[in-house]
A and B are shown apart, each in its own frame.
Chain A
Amino acid sequence: MMTRYEELILLSPELGVEECREIVNNFSAIVEREGGSVLKIDDWGVKDTAYPVRKFNRGRYIRMEMDLPGSAVAELERNVRITDGVFKFITVRLAETPEAATEEA
């Protein structure tokens, strides 16, 4: 049973491009290990945050879109939580089934 999810992660602005890529690759590996598939990775770049987060006024936003079994979300979030450099994250369910998922920005 697969569901379409999206994960928005706020990373520390101190991380370099390489380190960010490494973190994202790590998450992708976890998604695949849990039997899901990553569909899209969006890097919004370093943006100003609306309020200071851990004393920084900016951060790098990365958005991942993926199909994942619902039971694997907890495992993914657990890994996101223990990764250094991740300031904030949110997981949003986009659609019940991958087929029902509409393409939107």
Chain B
Amino acid sequence: MSFKKKFAPRRKYCRFCENPEILLNYKHPEILNDFVTDRGKLIASRITGTCAKHQRALTREVKRARQMALMFYTATHSTDVLKKSRV
């Protein structure tokens, strides 16, 4: 009995189509942070299940947020990480 065969992944859906209330906006990096890795890289829509339209918007907003220092480009430059490493 292999473990792999028993595992049925939950159906992925686009979180922004599901709930139009969510503001996909560079001014709300809390939401965008769910769609980047710990190192700040964008996660493929293949993994998150985001639809193509919203993935495009997401990419654009993440890049804007990075530009305005609301999100970091790479973890090594993150203020949070630097704080921890100083201690």
Interface residues of chain A, those whose CB is within 8 Å of chain B, are: 8, 10, 48-53, 57, 59, 61, 63, 88, 90, 92, 104-105
Contacts and interface: CB of A to CB of B under 8 A. Distances in A.
Contacts of A61: 68
B64 A49 contact: no
B73 A51 contact: yes
A104 B71 CA distance: 21
Given A50-B71, A105-B27, 4 more contacts: A53-B69, A57-B79, A90-B26, A92-B26
Given A51-B78, A92-B64, A104 B23 contact: yes
A8 B69 CA distance: 11
B33 to A, nearest CB: 10
Contact of B67 (A48, A90, A105): A90
Contact of B79 (A10, A52, A88): A52
Contacts of B72: 50-51
B77 interface: yes
Nearest to B81: A51
Nearest to A87: B69
B42 interface: no
Contact of B69 (A51, A63, A104, A105): A51
B69 A88 contact: yes
A8 B68 CA distance: 8
9 contacts: A8-B68, A10-B69, A49-B70, A51-B78, A52-B79, A57-B79, A88-B68, A105-B23, A105-B28
A64 B69 CA distance: 17
A69 B27 CA distance: 24
B87 to A, nearest CB: 15
A92 B70 CA distance: 15
A50 B64 contact: no
